[in-house]
């Protein structure tokens, strides 16, 4: 499996936008690499019908370039809202659908049966969803796995996903790691959860750097001000690019392990360098 297999083609910064605010759709897409039009948590129950109509109209009129960078988050399977969301999107050109509270491979199959033109981003945000991450990733229709902290903690009876200093609790870190490993094991992209404290740029930056270093292909966000911090973390420095290019230039000259700038280089380090250039 190459590092390219684990990439997410829409880019690293994915911005949520409430589906009941159609006046924000274009601005959100312009500010981020991709926009997630949210029919689930961001929309009050009474406003969901209007939100569905707005999304369907937008998808019908959007140019291909914008359509290719649009994800629609639908409500959880087994709910009336899920059925209504799928019906509203059935005749659309939507290319990516995020399945909220995904918990079983059969749910991905069910969604694809209704929307065969769309790839699925399975959102593992419950205890059942995290423990089913491997099965969800194994589905051919799954393009990526994302995890969510707050719904997960609520599903197991907790009250907060983070400690007082902003670090995730161990249970959230376990879920984050498990979802990423499951995605990678099946050649799918892993998407990191949102950072809710919009004003804490330093905390977001640190979490983005960890996401990049750990192997997440993208990170979701909830405010346009967070986009450039995410992009900055995924954008390799000039020094990183020079090192990766120079290292890869040496690979054809050697048949196996070799020494480069005082360090031993083998297969995994070559893949690290390839991933840096992929991010460029």
- C-alpha 107/C-alpha 111 separation (Å) is 6
Which residues, including other chains, have CB under 8 Å from residue 64's CB and lie 6 or more apart?
none
Separation between Cα atoms, residue 180 and residue 49, nearest integer Å: 34
73 marked among binding-site residues: yes
Rounded distance between C-alpha atoms, residue 118 and residue 48, angstroms: 21
Question: Is 242 annotated as contributing to ligand binding?
Answer: no
- The CB density around residue 23, as the number of other CB atoms within 10 Å, is 7
Which runs of E-coded beta strand occur in the chain? 13-18, 34-38, 70-74, 96-99, 119-124, 142-147, 189-192, 218-221, 258-260, 263-265
Contacts of 198 (CB under 8 A, 6+ apart): 222, 223, 225, 226
Sign of the Cα pseudo-torsion (202, 205, 211, 214, in order): negative
| d(C-alpha 35, C-alpha 98), whole Å | 11
Binding-site members are 73, 125, 151
Binding residues for Mg(2+): 125, 151
As annotated, the binding site for substrate includes 73, 125
């Amino acid at each position: 499996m190459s590092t390219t297999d684990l990439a997410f083609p829409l880019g690293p910064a994915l911005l949520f936008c409430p589906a009941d605010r159609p006046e924000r759709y274009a601005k959100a897409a312009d500010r981020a690499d991709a926009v997630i039009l949210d029919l689930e948590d961001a929309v009050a129950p009474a406003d969901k019908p209007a939100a569905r109509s707005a999304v369907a109209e937008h998808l019908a009129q959007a140019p291909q370039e914008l359509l290719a960078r649009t994800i629609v988050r639908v409500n959880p399977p087994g709910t009336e809202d899920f059925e209504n969301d799928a019906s509203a999107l059935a005749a659309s050109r939507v290319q990516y659908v995020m399945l909220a509270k995904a918990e079983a491979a059969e749910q991905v199959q069910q969604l694809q049966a209704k929307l065969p033109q769309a790839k699925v981003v399975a959102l593992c945000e419950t205890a059942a969803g995290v423990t089913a991450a491997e099965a969800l990733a194994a589905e051919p229709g799954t393009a990526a796995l994302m995890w969510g902290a707050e719904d997960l903690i609520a599903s197991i009876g907790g009250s907060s996903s983070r400690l007082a200093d902003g670090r995730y609790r161990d249970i959230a870190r376990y879920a984050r790691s498990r979802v990423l490993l499951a995605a990678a094991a099946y050649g799918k992209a892993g998407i990191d959860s949102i950072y809710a404290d919009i004003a804490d740029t330093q905390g977001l930056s640190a979490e983005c750097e960890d996401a990049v270093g750990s192997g997440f292909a993208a990170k979701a966000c909830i405010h346009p001000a967070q986009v450039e911090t995410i992009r900055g973390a995924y954008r390799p420095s000039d020094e990183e690019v020079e090192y990766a290019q120079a290292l890869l230039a040496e690979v054809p000259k050697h048949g196996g392990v070799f020494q480069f700038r005082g360090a031993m280089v083998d297969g995994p380090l070559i893949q690290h360098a390839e991933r840096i250039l992929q991010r460029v």
